[in-house]
Amino acid sequence: MSSEPADPEFRPHRVVVLALDGLLPFELGIPHRIFGRPKDARGRHLYEVVTCSIRPPGPVETDADFAIQIENGPEALATADTVIVPASYELGPVFEQGVLTDELAAALAHIRPGTRLASICTGVFVLAAAGYLDGRPATTHWAETDQLQRLFPKIDVDPNVLFIDDGDILTSAGVAAGLDLCLHMVRRDHGTAVANEIARRTVVPPHRDGGQAQYIQRPLPEPQLATTTGARAWALGRLHEPIQLRDMAAQESMSVRTFTRRFREEVGVSPGQWLTQQRVERARHLLETTDLSVDQVAQEAGFGTAQSMRQHLQTVLGVTPTAYRRTFRAGEGRGGGSTGSSGHYGGVGAVR
C-alpha cells in the first residue's frame, strides 16, 4: 500500500521522439537517456518518453545494419508536450528540395499548437520544411548549415553554436550536441541541480553553453602560440569583480586585438559574450542554491547592480531573477510542462 496519497494533478511532461527511416540510433537514444532519468522528491518520473513513427507501428530502418521496432504511430504526436526530431540520413525531398512528403506532412499535422519542438542535427530540416522556423534562428551540424540556409532563406542559420533555444523551438548541432540540448531542456524545466545529476549519471559534462562553438574544419592555431585558457580561468576566479578586456589579454601577454581574435577562434564568441554567459550561469547557480538577496547575487555574479542582472537574465533566459528563483529553486521537483524560457544561447553584453 502506498505511504502517500496519489496526486491527481501530477502528470509527467510527455516527450515524443519522432523516428524516421535512416535515423541514427545514437541520436534516437539521447532523449530516452536524458529525459528518462529525472524524478521528483517522491520518486515520480518527471518525464514520460515515447517513440513514434510516421506510419503505423512497425520497423524503422536505421543508418546501421539493423531496424528498430516502433510501437507507436503518428497519433502519439498529438499527446506530446515536447516533440523531438533526431537526425536521419534518408530525408529525401526534405533535405534535397526542402519539401515534406505527404506521409510526413500528415504525421506532423497531429502536433498540437503550443507543443515545444526540438531537433537534433539534420532533424531541423523537418521542422524547417514544415514552416516552423520561418523568421527564427536555428542551427544544425556545421556540415549542413549551408544547405539549410540555401533551402530555407527565411531562417537565421547560425553555423557556429551547439544549440539555439528560441523558446518553444530548440535546435542543435550534430551528435553530442543533442546531449547538450536535452540537458539544457531539463535545466530549463527543473533547474541546474536536476540536470547536473543526470549529466553525472550519464558521464557527460554537466553544461556546455549553447553559444559554445561547434568544431568546424579550419586551420589549427600554431602549436607554439599561447591559448586563452589561462585568461578564462583567471576571469572565472574573479567574476564578482569588474574585469577589463585589457586585463584578460594581459594574462596571456597579448595585445587586446590579438587576444580578442584568438579568443573567438578558440571559444566561438567574443570575450565579452563569454564573460556575460559565465556571469549569467553564476547568477543562476546562486539563485537556485542560496538564499542571497537579488542584490547580493548581482554583486557575486559581477553584474554590479540588480538592474543590470535583471536585464541580462531577461534577455538570455526570458525571466526576472525573482521569477527564476521561484520557479527553478534546486531540489523542488515538479511535474508537467516547460517554462517557456527563451533566448539564443550565444551570450549578450560586454566586458565590464
Per residue in 46-95, pLDDT (tens digit) is 999 999 999 999 999 999 999 999 999 999 999 999 999 999 988 889 99
The backbone region for 340, taken as left when phi is positive above 0, alpha when psi lies in -120 to 50, beta otherwise, is: left
Cell of 291: 538564499
**pLDDT surpassing 70 at residue 4:** no
* Residue 316 CA to its chain's centroid (Å): 13
Using the 8-state DSSP alphabet, how is residue 241 labeled? Answer: S
- Domains defined along the chain, listed by start: 13-202 (3.40.50.880), 220-267+269-352 (1.10.10.60)
What are the tens digits of pLDDT across the range 104-162?
999 999 999 999 999 999 999 999 999 999 999 999 998 899 999 999 999 999 988 88
What are the tens digits of pLDDT across the range 270-310?
999 999 989 998 998 899 888 999 999 999 999 999 999 99
Q: Are strands 82-85 and 116-120 parallel, antiparallel or unpaired?
A: parallel
